[in-house]
Amino acid sequence: MPFSSMIQEMKGEIGAISSRGLLRFRSDRPGGHAAAGRAPAAEPPGEALRESCWAQVPPELLRMVLARVEDEEARWPGRSAVVASAGVCRCWRAVVKELVRVPEASGKFTFPISLKQPGPRDAPIKCFIRRNRATQSYSLCVGVTDALADDGKFLLAARRSRRPAGTEYLISLDAKNTSKGTCIGKLRSNFLGTKFIVYDAHPPCVGAVVSKGPYAHMIGSAQVSPGVPAGNYPISHISYKATFGSRVPRKMSCVMDSIPVSAIKGGTAPMQTEFPSINSNSFASVPFFRKSGRLDSSGVQLATQNEAKIVLKNKSPRWHEPLQCWCLNFHGRVTVASVKNFQLVASGESDLNNQDDDDVILQFGKVGKDLFTMDYRYPISAFQAFAICLSSFDTKITRE
Amino acid sequence: MAAAADSSGDGGTSSGEKTIVLVSSDNSARFEVREAAALLSQTVRRMIDEAGADASGDGITLPDVDAKTLAKVLEYCNKHAPASSSSSAAEAAPPAEGEEDLERFDREFVRVDMGTLYSLVTAASYLKIEGLLNLTCQTIADMIKGKTPEQIRKTLGITSEFTPEEEDEVRRENAWAF
């Protein structure tokens, strides 16, 4: 008998079946979400079925669907679909968190915490910074195309303010609000703009040890657990030195307090996996300068206390006699000469004059009026890279 | 919703092609389909292998697929079935229809309500029909893209059950992402 006529015969029966509400599909596997208590009594059968069935989709199917979304939306702004999926319900959130890989593995930003996680080991993540002189603010974006800079996807904002003892930049996830309440970290300089400290509002890694010292009374009571009040955890010390008497550009040095040297010798850099839950009253202002106005961070030591920390130094440019200028190979990512431009490599690995370009961990440079590119790699995070670049705007040291 | 025309007598087409009878979960509907179409389902293929050559005469009951869904699934299989019915060639042989025609069919095929889409994706998973599973998963993925969490929940009828802290975290993430 032809298939089509068999369908005709069945139509009547099927119609009868549907009105008895037997269209519900049973999964042959247990699992999916708990459906207990979900049976709605008053709604018409069709509505009730539709509401509950998607909440019980088998985990392997949910994973298949969400894996497609994660894979197909590699770039922003489309990648917001991955973040949205993680906000639907607990089950979806768990699946998405399993699927999303950290920037070190994928080279992609997904959740805000990825800004605090180390970049990829091979090719750097390419970002750009826009400066707004009128509002003394800066925004860090990641490109959405392959151009040097485009509309970009917003990552972090920073607002600069002058304080008696130096400058301060508050770094925030909120483009419109860089107040203390939303900041995830800050950068502070000394009066001369020769030394800077980068502070993370959250402990950089589990087990951050706080020593006794002049600031213990401010931070000593912080426990590393969810709900810990945000504080100021110094994660990097930056210093600039002019080399007077020569024409060589200034020297930069960044001690990365939270990253041990082992991170680049076969080990791994510490990584935050989530923001601690934030209390609106927990961003207490910590006046580091109230005693002397000089920067002193000896009070707080991190878990890497007994291990050597990574020190990043700027690569020495070469003097180009015909062009009569100092040159670094920025691979087309920096197009305007500026004293702010730099490339940082891990010092101690080899001679600073003879480093391969592969060793560049952070590159920063001007491409237009108020527009700069920032490329960074493992073991530093976007947040750390951004803070280091901000210091380059502030320092008063220029070459002679 | 035209099913592929199939000029068959009892137990086979006029060209002698083998047919298989598939029965829905509540035993309310029996469908006779070309073997090549039925074998698009790895589950059916396995059931036939396990039951042996003679058992297919009584029909293969699919305990987890109701009549309406089975009818729709078989519509897909008939359209996508390879021209050749030889079971060893069924996996490798291309479908009888042209690619553009199939794409148009697929687009129309998934224009269904969310309840039917759910039935189709779960049936495709149970029956292990790769093409249909890909098609339905992709349809759902495309439906998710571009929506906020609230819009996704509304479309699919899901409630979030987050704690207030989790809600806060979700709100912050989405404020940053969108």
Chain A residues whose beta carbon lies within 8 Å of the beta carbon of residue B149:
84-85, 87-88
Distance from CA of A357 to the nearest CA of B (A): 33
Of the candidate ranges A215-224, A320-329, B34-43, the one whose mean pLDDT is the lowest: A215-224
Q: Is B157 left (phi over 0), alpha (psi -120 to 50) or beta?
A: left
Of the candidate ranges A84-93, A233-242, B48-57, B69-78, the one whose mean pLDDT is the lowest: B48-57
A125 vs A271, higher pLDDT: A125
Contact A3 B32 (CB under 8 A): yes
Q: Establish if B5 touches chain A: CB-CB under 8 angstroms.
A: yes
Which pLDDT score, from 0 to 100, does residue B5 have?
44
Of the candidate ranges A34-48, A62-76, A185-199, A273-287, the one whose mean pLDDT is the lowest: A34-48
Q: Per-residue pLDDT tens for A355-390? A: 566 689 999 999 999 999 999 999 999 999 999 999
Q: Establish if B156 touches chain A: CB-CB under 8 angstroms.
A: yes
Contact A69 B145 (CB under 8 A): yes
Nearest CB partner across the interface for A22, out of B66, B74, B166: B66
Q: Establish if A97 touches chain B: CB-CB under 8 angstroms.
A: no
Question: What are the phi and psi torsion angles at B150 (to 5°)?
Answer: -65, -40
Distance from CA of A360 to the nearest CA of B (A): 29
Residue A52 has pLDDT above 70, yes or no: no
Residue A228 has pLDDT above 90, yes or no: no
Residue B53 has pLDDT above 60, yes or no: no
Hey, what's the torsion of the CAs at B121, B123, B126, B132, to 10 degrees?
Answer: -60
> Does residue A213 contact residue A274 with C-beta atoms inside 8 Å?
no
Q: Copy the structure tokens of residue A323.
A: 């062009």
Which pLDDT score, from 0 to 100, does residue A323 have?
83
Chain A residues whose beta carbon lies within 8 Å of the beta carbon of residue B66:
17, 22-25
pLDDT band at A219 (very low <50, low <70, confident <90, very high): very low
Within 21-80 of B, beta carbons closer than 8 Å to A belong to 25-26, 28-33, 63-69, 71, 74, 78
What is the overall mean pLDDT for chain A? Answer: 76
Chain A residues whose beta carbon lies within 8 Å of the beta carbon of residue B133:
64
Which residue in chain B is spatially nearest to A226 when comparing CA positions?
A: B165
Residue B81 has pLDDT above 70, yes or no: yes
| Dist CA B82 CA A121 (whole Å) | 47
Within 34-53 of A, beta carbons closer than 8 Å to B belong to 46, 49-53
3-state secondary structure chain A: CCHHHHHHHHHHHHHHHHHCCCCCCCCCCCCCCCCCCCCCCCCCHHHHHHHHHHHCCCHHHHHHHHHHHHHHCCCCCCCHHHHHHCCCCHHHHHHHHHHCCCHHHHCCCCCHHHHHCECCCCCCEEEEEEEECCCCEEEEEECCCCCCCCCCEEEEEEEEEEECCEEEEEEECCCCCCCHHHEEEEEEECCCCCEEEEEECCCCCCCCCCCCCCCHHHHCCCCCCCCCCCCCEEEEEEEEECCCCCCCCCEEEEEEEEEEHHHHCCCCCCCCCCCCCCCCCCCCCCCCCCCCCCCCCCCCCCHHHHCCEEEEEECCCEEECCCCEEECCCCCCCCECCCCCEEEEECCCCCHHHCCHHHEEEEEEEEECCEEEEEECCCCEHHHHHHHHHHHHHCCCCCC
Distance from CA of A237 to the nearest CA of B (A): 28
Contact A17 B113 (CB under 8 A): no
Chain B residues whose beta carbon lies within 8 Å of the beta carbon of residue A92:
158
Contact B174 A6 (CB under 8 A): no
Q: Note if the bond before A77 is cis, omega within 30 degrees.
A: yes
Which pLDDT score, from 0 to 100, does residue B59 have?
84
Single pTM value for the model: 0.77
Distance from CA of A270 to the nearest CA of B (A): 22
Chain A residues whose beta carbon lies within 8 Å of the beta carbon of residue B31:
3, 6-7
Q: Copy the structure tokens of residue A331.
A: 């691979």
What is the arithmetic mean of pLDDT over B148-156?
94
Which pLDDT score, from 0 to 100, does residue A358 have?
67
Within 85-124 of B, beta carbons closer than 8 Å to A belong to 113-115, 118-119, 121-123
Which pLDDT score, from 0 to 100, does residue A13 have?
47
Q: Establish if B134 touches chain A: CB-CB under 8 angstroms.
A: no
Q: Per-residue pLDDT tens for B92-133? A: 556 666 888 999 999 999 999 999 999 999 999 999 999 999
% of chain A with per-residue pLDDT over 70: 67
> Does residue A94 contact residue A86 with C-beta atoms inside 8 Å?
no
pLDDT band at A176 (very low <50, low <70, confident <90, very high): confident
Which pLDDT score, from 0 to 100, does residue A66 have?
97
Q: Per-residue pLDDT tens for A14-23? A: 444 444 433 3
What is the arithmetic mean of pLDDT over A96-100?
96
Chain B residues whose beta carbon lies within 8 Å of the beta carbon of residue A23:
66, 68-69, 115, 119
ipTM at complex level: 0.85
Q: Establish if B83 touches chain A: CB-CB under 8 angstroms.
A: no
Q: Establish if A154 touches chain B: CB-CB under 8 angstroms.
A: yes
Residue A146 has pLDDT above 70, yes or no: yes
